[in-house]
A and B are shown apart, each in its own frame.
Chain A
Amino acid sequence: MADVATAVVAGEMTVEMVQASQIGMKAMAAAIAVGSTGIASGIAETAIGSAAVGATAENKDVFGLVLLLTVIPETIVIFGLVVALLLLF
């Protein structure tokens, strides 16, 4: 921040530029929040998902249960999404 302040004072950056870069930073943060949580959910769901498909192939009745187990890690990306939306709006 000190650098930005000196840069503004020195006339190298205008206030508009600083505001624009702040918006960009926010967007970047939101992207990281959604992106990284999405990857995390994906990694967590791969193992559960493949096991779930196997179990369903053996016994169709477990479909409801394995669906529950498969979507448990989705919570992570939901939190990421909420964080991103809070950052942006």
Chain B
Amino acid sequence: MNAFSYVTAQTAGSAVELVRERGRFLAGGMDLLGEIKDGLAEPAVLVNVKALPGTREIVVAKDKVVIGANVTLATLAEHAEAKKLLPALAQAADAVGSPQMRNVGTVGGNLAQHSRCWYYRQRDVRCVKKGGSRCFARGGENKYHSLFTKNMCLSPCVSNLAVALSALDAAVVVQRGAKTVTLAIAQLYERAWSEPKAHHSLAADELILRVEVPVAAGARSAYVRIAEKNEFDWALVSCVAAGRIEGGKLRGVRVALGSVAPIPWQVKEANAALEGREPTAENAAKAAERLLKDAEPREQIGYKIPIAQALVKRAVTALAG
């Protein structure tokens, strides 16, 4: 481990200033400390962002819920109003890791976490995500990898919150230099779609401050997943469906899949196929077909397709309540 300095930032502006010289933001540290110990990250400075004002609250407004980046996953999972207004998000938070991890891990950290690919995490493997020339998962042991990607790296986005927030059409407020910018979830991850080295779209000196989730009357959502183990395991595939039910029909519906692409996977045609329809298994199957149209069932990954189909069905039918 290299020697590093440690500084606590008092404002978002100073945090991004301080991190600029080979620094990393430190919130829960769940991912960062592992990367440092495994020799994957060698920051010169750790900028503690836990003291930033206003980042530890969940604020419920009339039309949205604002969740600070330093809110822990446990807090989110147990938040009474979040559970009521945004059940899929609370369920997604509750499904992360172990209770110890949820007590420490934060919303911002979960969204900005790095690849869990077992080649990327090997100290002595220099893969394309670390600037090497090849993806070892291609033609290798890739059962936990992506069905979709536009770049060489096969590692999927495994953030539970990303999938939920994608379906919930949330926005992320990010400190960029002296300003804040607001990104859609798709924008937060779009670089990872095309660039093998990217885990998300944020530059090293850009910091997630909060998440804004729109809430409409009658909104419903559901998070479903399957993992090899029942607890404390990564999802093989996860799915979130969100929308309203009006007169028995789905409105404003979005379905997102997790752990199948370097981004939360949404397909417009799939959402359109559900719009105005009943949340039935048959309609869900049609949406799943569109969601999975371009899936590449390579080597060990093909089994994720039937799982995704089943999860879409379960998530969409769960909206019927």
Is chain B a partner of chain A in the same complex? no
Residues on B facing A (Cβ under 8 Å): none
Residues on A facing B (Cβ under 8 Å): none
